[in-house]
Amino acid sequence: MVPGGDGRCAYRLGVRILAHVDLDAFFAAVEELEQPELRSRPLVVGGDPQGRGVVSTANYAARRFGIRSAMSAAEARRRCPDAVFVRPRMALYREYSHAVWAAVREVVPRVERTGLDEGYLDLRSVIDDFARARPLAEAVQVSVRAATSLTCSLGVSTSKVVCKIASDRRKPGGITVVPPGAEAAFLAPLPVRRLPGVGPRAEERLAAAAVATVGALAALGDAELRALLPGAVGVLLRERARGIDERELELDAERVSISTEETFAHDVSDREALHAELRRMAVEVAGHLRRSGLVARTVTAKLRYADFSIRSRSATLAAPVDEAGRIGELACELLDRGLRDRPGALRLVGVGVSGLSGFRQLTFDDD
């Protein structure tokens, strides 16, 4: 804590008051709301009982068995044979997400959404005193729960990196406040891999030099740092290990793309069936565009083959669109182009749009 101890001095010196909000096991929590009988059972969203695909998320009952995001469904099944597997329902999750962020903005209007289920808040747009940060974070939780029956966890501090790590400290439904001046001490005992940006290779190099904690990374001298993590990346990671992160909220970065995809129970090679699936997904994507008041310039088709390799093909239009027929037509053409380049049965197909802007292209489907 800086001099004064209550956050008032910190505010006068220009210290930011930020929060990272993270919905608790979001996809699984939505499924539990939609199907209350699943609440007491280990629940896995993504993959299937036969072991195909990967885990998108799991509820806390499943996490007690060590099941986590990005794990293969086969490994999840091995760890918990009684787990219930459900397919992701992205359209449903987007509806809940829209309600969540509307509720958040009722309390804190300045938001950077980094995903359906997480984002950063500028608490200083509402309060000027760090001592009031916890009550404001609690108000965000109350608003989200009242609107959606979902829970969220928040980390509050002066920088994005500290807020992000703090929001994971007391899940589910917790709040962790790291006041000004306490950032480095909060981070110091954590494993170095907890620091965003430290991947497996960097962790291995640091471990070889007995740098196992964030505090040890923060304490490295310039020469030691250059030897272990040369270049600007090393300097950036050391700064973040000290709790220093000058990134501002990107208020216009809320939505850069919209997409949906489907993993098949069996590999599919029938072209008409693949086209039908793409057209169905195009309707979903177009509906989301229209509900959001957006149009898109780029359409992308995603193909995953039986060996799990992924190919994507994209087309950028002269004029933006939000019309399902045009998006579906382009997606089918792109899929055909991808299959000409590499024939084979597909495990998954997807449709995405990007290059979004906030106006609509009128079509003959409009009233």
Indicate the pairing of strand 257-268 with strand 346-357: antiparallel
Contacts 24+ apart (CB under 8 A), 71-76: 72/47, 73/44, 73/46, 73/47, 73/48, 73/49, 76/44, 76/47
DSSP character string of 248-266: PP-TT-S-SEEEEEEEEEE
Of 75, 95, 118, 203, the active-site residue reads 118
The conformational region for residue 176 under phi > 0 = left, psi -120 to 50 = alpha, else beta, is beta
For residues 25 and 27, give the distance between their C-alpha atoms in angstroms, rounded to a whole number: 6
Which of 277, 264, 257, 288 lies closest to 92, judged by CA?
Answer: 288
Instruction: Please return the burial class of 145, using the count of CB atoms within 10 Å of its CB with bins 0-12, 13-18 and 19+.
Output: middle
In terms of DSSP H, where are the helices of 123-267? 133-148, 160-167, 183-187, 200-208, 214-218, 222-228, 232-241
**Annotated catalytic, 118?**
yes
Q: Are 45 and 84 spatial neighbours (Cβ–Cβ below 8 Å)?
A: no
Element (H, E) at 275: helix 271-292
Active site positions, annotated: 118
